[in-house]
Structure formats: C-alpha cells, structure tokens
Amino acid sequence: MSNPRFAPDARITANAMPLPAAMRSSVSRIALQLGLEGADRLELTLVNEGLRWLDQPQIALGRELRLELGYAPDPLDQVFVGEVVGLTPTFPADGVPTLTVVAHDRRARMQRGTKTRWFAIAIPRGGNRPMPDPAVAALVGAESQLIFASDPVSLGISAALGGVEYGIRAASGKSKGAGDQELIRKQRGETDLAFLGRIAAENGWVMSVDHGGVQGGRILRFTSLLAHLVPDLRLHYGENLIDFAPRITTVGEIVAVTVRFWIPQLKIEMTVTAGWDWDRQSLNVTAEPSYGRGGGAKGKTSVSALVLGDEVSATTAARVLLAKLLSKLNQRLTGTASTIGDVRFKPGGVVQLDGVGKLFGGPYRVTGVHHTLDTAGFRTSIDVRKEIWFDGAHLMRGFENAARTSLAMAVPGLGGIKEAAS
C-alpha cells in the first residue's frame, strides 16, 4: 500500500534556524497564498499564552521565514521563502491571546514607492537604443535582489514581438532614432511590480516567484502561457476533487479591443481592432484608416469592443492589443476548486478537471494556490481560469496573421487595407 498521506507535516525556519520547539508547538494555523498577482503571503497564527511570544527576535520584522510542507514520513517541499512584514497580536477579554505573523515574498519590496524612468542602451554617437524586455525585467528585479529566470518559449515570443515592431518601423520609413525612441521601455509613475506586470502582459508572460531550492524566494520567473499547456495534475469530481465552483459570464464581456494611432509618413490615422470569435474559436484582426468611420472605432465596433485611450503607435500597437485582449478573454470562465493538501500545485501550472461536464471540464490555468494547515488538517484550494488556447489551434494561426496585418498596416500607400485573420 502506498503512503496514505494521513500525517501532514510542516517545518518553519527563521533566519535559517528552526523555530524553538515551544514556539513551533504554539502554531495553531498556517495559511499560505501563492499567486500570479501581487506578493505571495504566509500567515502563522500562534497561541500567545502569557504573551510569551511578543518581542521575540526570531519573528521580528524583516526576519526571513521559510516554510516546508508535505506528509510524513516523505521529505517536505520548500513552498515559501519571504520576509516578516507584519505582526498582529490579539488581546481578547476572554479566551487565549494570539499572535499572527505575516510574511511576503521579495516582490513586496517592489511595491514600495513609484518611479518614473526609462531603459535604454546609450550608443556613442548613435543615440539611445531600446533595451530588450528580458534585460529590463532582469535589471528591475535585481534592484530587489531577485534573479531573472525564463524559458526559451518566453524569450522567443518577446524576440518575435520585437521583430514585428522593428519591421513596422522599417516598413513605415521611420528613421532609426525616431523608431527606437518609441520602443524604449518607460516606467511612468508606477511601482516596480506594476511595471514588470505590464511588461509580462505585453509579452504574454506570467510572473511568479520560485520558492524551491537553495535560491528559493530569489528567483523571479517569467513563463509564457503558450509554453505550458499540458496538465500537470488531474482532479476528478467525486474522487480527489472535493468541490468546484465555476463561474462563466458574458456580463461586461470584451470580445474586441481597438487602438488608434497616427502614421506621420502617410498623414493618416489608423484603427486596428483585434477580436475573438467564440463560435469559430478564431482571432480576427482588422486594420484600416479611421476616416469615414462615423466617429472612429466607436462608430463601427460593437458595444462589447473596448476602445483604448492608451498612447500607442504603429510599432507598439501589437503589444498593447495582446496584453489588453488576452487579459479580458481569459476571464470569461473562472472558478475555485479544493482538494486534500497537495504541494504540487503551482501558480501558472495547468490542472485537468474531470467529472464536471463538457463545458466546465478540461484544462485550466492555476492562477492562485491556497494551502491551509490547522486542526482540521491540510487542505489546498486553487483559483483557475479557462484560457482560449487550450482549444486553440485556430488561435495560433490568428496570431500569425495578426503579425502580418501589423506589418502591412504601416506600409506606405496601404490606402484602405483591411485584413481579417480567421
């Protein structure tokens, strides 16, 4: 008989030293939240009898906390490394006082204050050249002592988008200086975390912190959504899927995103719309002059089209459309599920849900993981979303055609070009 996994276990260390036995035995609840947005969060609730854990140096602000979870007698997995950012004691009129210790991963450092700056490579007598997005992400992360990590697919997509931008600049006849200035990444009154989140969205990446290994908590990982489409785990309702609460809605649904920009070489304003056809499961892209549209994009697109007011140009439109459209489309079907405690779930991973019908079953992206260990046992709940490319061979062809449309729309003499990719 395999390990029945009836004995959950946890190990907590503070500044590389295990918590004293008395303090460890006072921990009544462990709650860990891991996700793709914001910093990961660990909460330890201690029974503070006699107020003996107040002012303890092991859990003082700024101390490093490491958490390992799993089942005895198997080896435990390191699931969190972060810093203590808050202490919340309670002093009830009746009952036992408690102390809650809150720790965040190093991304919390990137939420402190906003910055305005730009990232470029200075070329002697050649002006400034744009810095590649992976290099920008690595530089910003390093300021918070985080190490950049990515996969080949993520780097390839970033390079491809950069190639489209340079191709548009060349096709439109822009000088090197003018085109390069548009491509330089600018942080405008944003926190470092919000700035990196925008870069990730415009490259089709998800951002997470890798807590495993010796460098756990210091690895800032950027992963392409398209690099991870095969389910890591399977949950079946009535077996290991304890409950599942899906949500599908068309309220406020956005099926198209429109941007408009001026091409000075042609003295013409262009309107580009990227939309998703749910019936045909395909991406449609149109590019045409704005004149004669009865008020521009608003006069022709449906009420479910989002007209962006973002400052874009021919060279930056592709990234903006990608970020805005995908963020909306991938929120159509979401849900929460729970199972017995399982440390194999990771934000950004893929889970297969079975036994819940055709519409609500299939692969889902894991966007959040919540581990709880208390007197009721070890439980894991996950936040999930159904992404369009899980059944999207048409989508990939649509993206290819979208890139060609982006290139074509900046070519001098395009007149009334209009292309639909399906």
- Check residue 37 and give its pLDDT: 82
CATH class of 8-104: mainly beta
Q: What confidence score (pLDDT) does residue 219 get?
A: 95
Helix crossing, 176-183 with 152-171: angle to 10°? 140
Phi and psi, residue 34, nearest 5° = -120, 140
Q: Do residues 350 and 231 lie in contact, with contact meaning Cβ atoms separated by under 8 Å? A: yes
Does the pLDDT at position 279 exceed 70? no
Question: What pLDDT does residue 254 have?
Answer: 53
**Does 196 have pLDDT greater than 70?**
yes
Residue 282 C-alpha from the chain's centroid? 23
pTM of the model: 0.78
| Rounded-to-integer distance, Cα 7 and Cα 245, Å | 28
Token digits of residue 118: 């730009």
Distance of alpha carbon 59 from its chain centroid, rounded? 30
Instruction: Give tens-digit pLDDT for 151-182.
Output: 876 676 566 555 444 444 544 455 444 546 66
Q: What is the pLDDT of residue 127?
A: 74
Q: What is the mean pLDDT of residues 92-100?
A: 94
Q: Mean pLDDT of all residues in the chain? A: 79
> What token pair was written down for 319?
């990234």
> What is the pLDDT, as a whole number, of residue 252?
46
Question: Residue 396 — pLDDT band, cuts 50, 70, 90?
Answer: very low
Whether the pLDDT of residue 296 is over 80: the answer is no
The confidence score (pLDDT) of residue 412 equals 39
Instruction: Give the Cα separation of 287 and 94 in Å (integer).
Output: 68
- Position 297 scores a pLDDT of 38
Q: How far apart are CA 105 and CA 36, in angstroms?
A: 12
383 vs 247: CA distance, rounded Å: 11
pLDDT of residue 392: 54
- Beta carbons of 163 and 152 less than 8 angstroms apart: no
Identify which of 241-245, 258-262, 299-303 has the greatest average pLDDT.
241-245
Whole-angstrom CA distances from 128 to 180, 189, 281 are: 8, 21, 42
- What pLDDT, on the 0 to 100 scale, is given for residue 393? 43
Gap between the Cα atoms of 23 and 58, Å rounded:
10
Residue 293 has pLDDT above 90, yes or no: no
**Cβ pair 336, 327 in contact under 8 A:** no
* The pLDDT of residue 201: 83
Confidence label for 422 from pLDDT (cuts 50, 70 and 90) = very low
Is residue 246 a contact partner of residue 333, using CB atoms and an 8 Å limit?
Answer: yes
**Residue 418 confidence (pLDDT):** 36
Q: What's residue 357's pLDDT?
A: 94
Return the residue matching tokens 């918070």.
144
For the stretch 404-413, pLDDT in tens is: 444 444 433 3
pLDDT of residue 197 exceeding 70, the answer is yes
Domain boundaries, the chain: 8-104, 107-227, 236-422
Interval 251-273: pLDDT, tens? 545 566 776 766 666 677 777 77
**pLDDT the model gives residue 155:** 72
For 378-401, the DSSP string reads EEEEEEEE--GGGG-HHHHHHHHH
Maximal C-alpha separation, the chain: 81
State how beta strands 282-289 and 268-277 pair.
antiparallel
Residue 122 banded pLDDT, cuts 50, 70, 90: confident
Supply φ then ψ for residue 230, to 5 degrees. -90, 130
CATH code of domain 107-227: 3.55.50
Q: What mean pLDDT comes out for the span 222-231? A: 85
Indicate the helix (H) or strand (E) that contains 408.
Answer: helix 393-408
